[in-house]
Structure 1
């Protein structure tokens, strides 16, 4: 029996197939003849599936992690460590949390360490982790993370953003598309590379804002 992915890639009514860890977010940036796998995959699974696919119109969107390289012509990296960083940097509901992290990072002169978070009732406290970043990532960090603002964009903050949302029972990913335009998701060069790919696909557009379920730009 063919898998959902195999069937989707063979559907002639769709000219582009997109795989991502957070498909419910990225669906707002492509239209109209596009199918985005509704089941989110890990970034490793996205990489594996896209690199092994023989369909040139199958693309994947992956986290930046600590890597700027072009791994495959059909893999596109966001200009953040992860989507949690994108959420932290851009969502208005997390502005206070973001500013608290920036202040803490600036005060403690943190650059090469991850953070952890603890809670006391509705108060939260940030802590510098002592676990060192792997040596192979240090050149990237020294180049990309110079300011506290760059720290919240490119450092691994997935765990503390997830913990904050879980604690306060506020999940903002469903409205992130209203806060971020496509050229704020990817670097300038990666946006250009993605646009070039989309331009080669018939009847598919890349939305520079985003669209809601009714098809209206927001």
Structure 2
């Protein structure tokens, strides 16, 4: 499967994907990375690993629609079959999603539907949650509310700051995002309404989530 990745910042989740491909854990390739930020450190990661990238800035286009059409055009040119949002800080419209139906996924730092939108870690702290985590989900027109593929739980500790909680969640983001891409690339993910089932996955209540055994 040829994967396209959209980024806006440092690209640590992009690096997790690159590592998984380089280690042979995922078959296929990252065909293209698109950044809407020309200063994103994710671009340096692409250069370091010889991955093709493009910078597409919103300000260069008269409308959001034209901006998204350019990204779709570039992704289609590279034969991209799955689009991964890895720290992409823009909300995509229904027009973009129609170009890749049920083939756009996102990583979000909470257990959605809890704490959607920006600063999810801060939201969890302010709410007094005892558990939070991260979610890989299919992208829908509702912000951070598409069908859930996989989640990882992270405890909220009494001494946590937004930074310390964010860092602990990020460690699990780096595990579940490659895992989700692997499942999809293997054709194991089935979606019925809001319910996502991974064929062959072991579901149960164990100290270690067996779905993540390949990446732990």
TM-score above 0.5, yes or no? no
TM-score (norm 1): 0.30
**Greater C-alpha Rg:** 1
TM-score (norm 2): 0.30
Q: Which has the higher contact order (CA 8 A, sep 6+)?
A: 1
